[in-house]
Amino acid sequence: MAYLGDMASIGKVVVMVFASLFGLACSVVGIRTVKEPRFRVTLAEADKQIRDYDPYLVARTRIDGDYDASGSEGFRRLFDYISGNNSAEEKISMTAPVLQEQEGKTIAMTAPVLQQRDGQSWCVDFVMPADLTLSTVPVPRDQRVVIVEVPRQTVAVIRYSGLVSSDDIDEKARELKEWLRARNYRIISEPRSARYDPPFTLPPLRRNEVHVTVEPMREMDPTKT
């Protein structure tokens, strides 16, 4: 019986190792397994879309600094939060990139990681799982992390691959603005960087996006001046 128990334990280890290696391989080549906020695509043309997003929660932190430095620091703070630095001590065990070994309750990792300018600072967001609400989401222990409810919104998106920089965000936002102007939409937010892949994903296979919140432009009444 002990022998059978040992074999079962070895089998579990083999399965866990295989799952970890499989998850790593998937991440390297850009195969994604994490969930995203719920949305509906209302217009799609080549690398651009207009999406209607349902409301969702984010864990948010604000950092002074450039895009790269603030992104790294923001990711660390938010990862600490979903790893158990919260009022419920809910934890997630992660391998590369999002394989989980449940220990009690978990906060699942979702996508994308959002980053947006706020004056001289950057806001970095982790999207919370859809089953969490303002009354059930664990409270961050780090006071630099806050929970924010993002309302229902219409978002224009442009997708690209490769590495990400603040110059890329500005360039893609300009391209998106021209596309939206021709379709009678107005941008009502700062551009947001959305990254869907871990840093070891091959750059040509990464999914990056720039998001802006939009609204339809009202046609001017020619009888009014």
3-state SS assignment for residue 20: helix
**pLDDT exceeds cutoff 60 at 5:** no
Q: Bigger pLDDT: 4 or 111?
A: 111
Selection from 218, 110, 217, 212 nearest residue 153 by Cα: 212
The alpha carbon of residue 208 and the mean position of all alpha carbons in its chain are separated, in whole angstroms, by 10
Parallel, antiparallel or unpaired: strands 208-216 and 185-187: antiparallel
Q: Is residue 4 scored above 60 in pLDDT?
A: no
Question: Per-residue pLDDT tens for 16-60?
Answer: 333 333 343 444 544 455 678 899 999 999 999 999 999 999 889
3-state secondary structure of 69: helix
| pLDDT at residue number 219 | 60
At residue 71's C-alpha, the angle toward residues 69 and 195, to 5°, is 140
* φ/ψ of residue 13, rounded to 5: -65, -45
